[in-house]
Amino acid sequence: SRFETCWPALMKDSHGVIIIFNPELPSHLKEIEMWYSCFVQQQPLLDSQCLLVAHHKPGSAEDTENLSLAYPLNKLKLIHSNLEEDPEDVRMEFMKYFRSIINLINESREREEMSIIS
């Protein structure tokens, strides 16, 4: 990808990664493995700091709802977004994810402060 030179700058000090993909495109399923490897495993971030979003376009096939991803992607939190049918559900899931990231940041900051004190 022509943007690969920018990746280190994007990754610097990042606390979370959201990967949005089209579950109807087999090529996307291969690509998310690469994104996960580059942006989560190599940083390294915890799996809980990554959110996968399978985005369904209006009128798209429903059979992709029971998407089963292979290891290691199957360890990640996966949500289905369908903004036509259930935008509120997606919003709630995003809020939960952001809360968990903020909790992680606060915990690591407290650990740092404790280690400075002791």
14-40 pLDDT tens trace: 999 999 999 988 888 889 999 999 999
pLDDT on residue 83: 78
Task: For residue 79, give Cα distances in angstroms to 5, 89, 100.
Answer: 29, 9, 15
In a domain, 7, yes or no: no
* Mean residue pLDDT across the chain: 88
In a domain, 5, yes or no: no
Distance CA 5, CA 10 (A): 10
Task: Quote the number of domains for the chain.
Answer: 1
Do β-strands 77-81 and 17-21 pair in parallel, antiparallel, or remain unpaired?
A: unpaired
More confident residue, 115 or 12: 115
Residue 67: which residues within 8 A CB-CB, separation 6 or more? 23, 54, 78, 80
In a domain, 54, yes or no: yes
In a domain, 56, yes or no: yes
In a domain, 61, yes or no: yes
The reported pTM is 0.83
Domain hosting 27: range is 12-117
pLDDT on residue 74: 93
Element (H, E) at 105: helix 87-117
- Long-range contacts of 102-111, Cβ-Cβ distance < 8 Å, separation of 24 or more: 104/15, 104/46, 104/48, 104/49, 105/15
Q: Is the pLDDT of residue 3 over 80?
A: no
Distance CA 89, CA 109 (A): 31
Q: State mean pLDDT over 63-80.
A: 84
Q: State mean pLDDT over 77-83.
A: 89
In a domain, 2, yes or no: no
pLDDT on residue 57: 82
Q: Is the pLDDT of residue 65 over 70?
A: no
In a domain, 65, yes or no: yes
